[in-house]
A and B are shown apart, each in its own frame.
Chain A
Amino acid sequence: VNPRMWDDLAGQVAAGSRFAGLMATQRAGGLVLSAHLAGAKDVTVRDVALPPGAGSYPALTPVLGAASWYEREIHDLFGVVPAGHPHLEPLLLPGPSVPRHVLGAGLFTIPHGPVRSGVMESIEYLVETPGEDIPHLSTRVFYKHRGVESRFEGLPAGDGVLLAERTEGVASVAHALAYCHAIERIADVSVPWPAALVRVLYAELERLANHLDAAVRLADAAGLAVATARFGVHKERVLRLVSRMCGSRFGRGVVVPGGVSGPPELSGADFLAEIGRLDRAVTADAAVLMGTASFLDRLRSTGPLRPERAREYGALGPVGKASGFSDDARRFRPYDAYPALGLGEVSTYSAGDALARLRIRWDEVRQSFHLLRQAADELGDVGDGAFRAEFDPVDGRSVGWAEAPQGEVLYDVRVEGGRLTRCHPRSASFHNLALFHEVFAGDILTDFPFIEASFGLSVAGVAR
């Protein structure tokens, strides 16, 4: 194994590319490691083939810290050892026994999870504390590992989208889009214009539902009963609107390779009327929330992520934008109807705290309402065209992406003989959760639910 195998990659990251992920593929000639780099216009892949039977390779993590979780995942799933990895604990598969470190005198561990209070996904946070502060936190995500990646293998390329929708259910539409973009890129197919507009409708409604859910959780953490109730009702209205359009409350079954399964089962006028009502209600309640001093006090300077760290790591979505790192696939690597719609500026803040992450979400909510109106107007004008480009899946390999409410979702897909031989979904939740334990400086136990809600991640997309 070439000890300088990562020099080229590290150089590109130093030159300004964003490290977007690392995955392994078992090929006939041995294991291939593929690093994803997001540039100004495209996502590129760097493949490094290991010699057949290689049991280890020089770890990337010492050169590029953001690779840490990716190399732990590869170690779990493929058994190859990244030599020199500073923290090679199990991530997706539980090891024979995981030691519980307690890092200092007078500290004790509070396990949160895997069965958590309330209705939450399974994950375990080990909070080490002298009683109030959180000097150290470790995260165990393997409990709900479902083996999604291996289930992709062998599926017909047209069926893969169904599993993509269930990889991270709260971002069903974004995952379906990223998957279909990869399949469409391989076949060099572009989707009909009406379908591109319909895709934007569902993607932005999904963003609304997720951001309203974050508001519900934050208001609930602060004990604001009326705010919790009202944002809960708004979110329910969004999900009902989606179900009136397609039958599923999460927009499932809409995005298919080549376009969408059909137009919304709701007239443009009814849609716009409901969007108008929602916009007024959400905007008014958000304004009151952002004027509630007792609420803002709990968020301000809570769970700060330093801008330098966000940039260095490549933090995605609202977490990155709140720390001044403004990557948004809809703007920089646009797809479907986004290039033609007015997205406006991507707002960023530099505070990097839970408050900044909420402000970003309200900015994105405003942007989403704007996009929904534009796309619906445009769709009314184009009338009934084709909603799907029919094509037979073509063999090949490509990367597809979409901007989920949590940030950029990336799919690396390989099709051989019309079936998937490799499909690696990389959710924003996976990428961002690795940062979660770093933001607890100075925060206390009661800040935990605020910080967790402000990250707004889904465990399903991490453990897969």
Chain B
Amino acid sequence: VSPWVLRGLRDGVVTTRWPARPDPYADGWRGPATVLDPRPAGAADLASLCPTGAVSATHRSLTLDQGQCILCGRCVVGRPDVFGWSRGPGGAALTRDGLVVPQVTETERNLAAVRAALRAKTAALRRSVHLRHVDAGSDGTEEQEIAALLNPVYDIHRLGIFVTASPRHADVLLVTGAGAHGMAEPLRRTYDGMPDPKIVIAVGTDACGGGLLAGSSATSDGVGAVIGVDVWLPGSPPPPFSILCALLGALGRLPREVSP
């Protein structure tokens, strides 16, 4: 008998049961920064806390764009009364504006229509979904976190989700990176090669808004300038549970409370 047979049996089942059951690692995850107090005293001075310009402030109120948050924590350390960490694997949004906290009511009304349109696209996919990934200028960590979904801890095959090499077989496109100009054409060709209906998920803060590379002459401040994006997922990088959560959310396969 190959020694690998016995080693494979050694640790029993290591696979998470999330999202059917809660998982402490998923629920306890420290996500992008969020706003605890949108009308603090001296709001105007707080924008300078953020190295990527995610915090916008007027003289009496402020917002934080999680699509530009690189989780450096400077705002949380600097003003713990105003900023805090978001918790859990959620945090993806169906519109780019949806990543700005606190949310305005108008955006929430538009969201219902966006959500319905996405559900109509994904209804046919049911329980067999194929992913294609394109790196459009990442720092290399997002690829590691997407690849981690294939290890036995997350094991996305249990959910009927598979990674495919050919865009012709793909239903979902995971795009990482700040939108490097050199990858614009390969990204567009991959997108065009996918059959309809197709869903695009921007994975990571760089893909959402460019992160620290925003303003670089070699990138387009996120992938939204290159192709249409259906789901925006911030994180630097987002952990496997967040990627899975965004994916299942787009497919309408999440319990209500964590759905984007």
Q: Which residues of chain B have C-beta atoms less than 8 A from A458's C-beta?
A: 140
Q: B41 contacts the other chain (Cβ, under 8 Å)? A: no
Q: Which of B198-229 contact A (CB under 8 A)?
A: 206, 211-213, 215-219
- Known contacts A226-B5, A230-B7, A288-B4, A144 near B137 by CB under 8 Å: yes
The interface bits of chain A over 441-464 (1 if a CB of B lies within 8 angstroms of the residue's CB, else 0) are 000000000000000001111010
Does B216 lie within 8 Å of A229, measured CB to CB? Answer: no
The answer to whether B140 and A461 have CB atoms under 8 Å apart is yes
Interface assignment of A224: CB less than 8 Å from any CB of chain B: yes
A425 to B188, CA, bound (A): 30
Complex contact B5–A122 (CB within 8 A): no
Does B237 belong to the interface (CB within 8 Å)? Answer: yes
Interface string of A237-269 (1 = CB under 8 A from B): 001100100011110110000000000000000
B142: nearest chain-A partner, CB-CB: A169
Q: Any chain B CB within 8 A of the CB of A28? A: no
Contact at B150–A122, with CB atoms within 8 Å?
no
- A159 CB–B CB distance under 8 Å: yes
Among B72, B151, B180, which residue has its beta carbon within 8 angstroms of that of A145? B180
B116 beta carbon closer than 8 Å to chain A: no
Q: Is B135 a contact partner of A150 (Cβ separation < 8 A)?
A: no
Asked whether B139 lies within 8 Å of A169 as measured between CB atoms, the reply is: yes
Q: Mark A74-103, 1 if CB is under 8 A from B, else 0.
A: 000000000000000000001000000000
Beta-carbon nearest neighbor of A219 in chain B: B4
Question: B17-50: contact bitstring with A at CB < 8 Å (1 yes, 0 no)?
Answer: 0000000010000100000000000000000000
- Whether a CB of chain B sits under 8 angstroms from the CB of A3 is no
As a 0/1 sequence over residues 65 to 77 of chain B, the CB contacts with chain A under 8 angstroms (1 = contact) are 0000011110000
Residue pair A119, B152 in contact (C-beta under 8 Å): no
Q: Which one, A114, A170, A240, A252, contacts B25 given CB within 8 A?
A: A240
Asked whether B7 lies within 8 Å of A253 as measured between CB atoms, the reply is: no
Contact assessment for A459 and B140 in the assembled complex, using a CB-CB cutoff below 8 Å: yes
Cα–Cα distance between A229 and B7 once the two chains are bound (Å):
11
Interface size class of B (residues with CB under 8 A): 35 or more
- A232 touching B152, Cβ below 8 Å: yes
Q: With A146-B216, A146-B218 given, is the CB distance from A291 to B143 under 8 Å? A: no
A contact residues around B249 at 8 Å (CB): none
- Pair B218/A159 contact, Cβ less than 8 Å: no
**Cross-chain contact B213 with A151 (CB below 8 angstroms):** yes
Which has the most chain A C-beta neighbours within 10 Å: B138, B140, B212?
B140
Q: Are A213 and B144 in contact (CB under 8 A)?
A: yes
**Per-residue contact bits, chain B 172-207, to A (CB 8 Å; 1 contact, 0 not):** 000001101111001100100000000000000010
**How many Å from the CB of A159 to the closest CB on chain B?**
5
Known contacts A226-B4, A232-B150, A247-B30; decide if A147 and B183 are in contact (CB<8 Å).
no
- What's the nearest-Cβ distance from chain B to residue A461, in Å? 7
Contact present for B186 and A115 (CB under 8 Å): yes
Q: Does A394 contact B (CB under 8 A)?
A: no
Q: Which chain A residue shows the least CB distance to B219?
A: A146
CB of A166 within 8 A of chain B? Answer: yes
Contacting pair A121 B135 (CB below 8 A) = yes
Question: Judging by beta carbons under 8 Å apart, are A117 and B165 in contact?
Answer: yes
What residues of A have a CB within 8 angstroms of the CB of B73 in the complex? 247, 253
B8 at the A interface (CB under 8 A): yes
Q: How far is the CA of A134 from the CA of B206 in the complex (A)?
A: 36
**Which residues from chain A sit less than 8 Å from chain B, CB to CB?**
94, 114-115, 117-122, 142-148, 150-151, 155, 159, 162-163, 166-170, 172, 213, 216, 224, 226-227, 229-230, 232-233, 235-236, 239-240, 243, 247-250, 252-253, 284-285, 288, 291-292, 458-461, 463
Extra pairs beyond A115-B186, A119-B147, A143-B183 (6, CB < 8 Å): A122-B137, A146-B219, A166-B213, A226-B5, A229-B152, A292-B4
Give me 9 A-to-B residue pairs in the complex whose CB atoms sit less than 8 angstroms apart, sorted by A's number. A142-B182, A146-B137, A146-B177, A146-B218, A151-B213, A169-B140, A226-B5, A247-B73, A292-B4
